Amino acid sequence: MYAKEIREWDTAKILEEIENLKKEMFDLRFKQATGQLENTARLSNIKKTIARMKTVLTERERS
C-alpha cells in the first residue's frame, strides 16, 4: 500500500486499519513462535504499512 492511497482516506479509517493490522501482526508473531508461519515477509510488510499510516497521521497533525 502506497502513501498516496493512504492520504486519500479519512483519519478514522486510517486508525481503524492500524488496529486491524496490529491484530494481524500479533497473530502472525504467534504463528511464528509456534513454527506455523509460512510467509515471514508479511510481518515486515505489515510493519512498514503501519509506519506509513502513522506518518500520514503525523503529517496531518502538523499541517
If you write DSSP's letter for every residue of 39-59 in order, what string do you get?
A: -THHHHHHHHHHHHHHHHHHH
Statement: residue 1 has pLDDT above 90: no
Distance set, CA 6 to CA 34, 36, 60 (Å): 33, 31, 12
Question: What CATH code is carried by the domain that includes residue 45?
Answer: 1.10.287.310
Q: What is the pLDDT of residue 5?
A: 95
Q: Tell me which residue range forms the domain holding 27.
A: 3-62
21-57 pLDDT, tens digit each: 999 999 999 999 999 999 999 999 999 999 999 999 9
Domain count, the chain: 1
Report yes or no on whether pTM surpasses 0.95.
no
The amino acid occupying position 48 is K
